[in-house]
Amino acid sequence: VEKLWQKRQADPNQVLAHTGGRDVIEALEKRMGWELPETRAVLKNAGNCSSPCILFALEERLRQSENDSRYWLTSFGAGFSAHSCEMWR
């Protein structure tokens, strides 16, 4: 993930992550220096439901902010073959 992060074209408006659990979210926030409110909301509302969690977080962010243009998605474990990706609209 760190190698991909270093290759990004620009800083994202928001990082969105697979929920993984409270400890995973806290570790990601600390390591990356980003708050993950959408990820926390998905954990609270849907639990850790594997790969779809990151799409739920993206859906939440898109609903909240029409001005964002860049996102960084990251996930760990089976079902998300990219592990991290840069996305923009």
The residue ranking higher by pLDDT, 58 or 68, is 58
Find the mean pLDDT for residues 59-75. Answer: 87
pLDDT reported for residue 26: 94
| Alpha-carbon distance values, 61 to 2, 70, 72 (Å) | 23, 11, 12
Residue 83: pLDDT band with limits 50, 70, 90: confident
CATH number listed for the domain at residues 2-88: 3.40.47.10
Find the mean pLDDT for residues 8-19. Answer: 88
pLDDT reported for residue 51: 76
pLDDT reported for residue 40: 94
How does the average pLDDT of the chain come out, rounded?
86
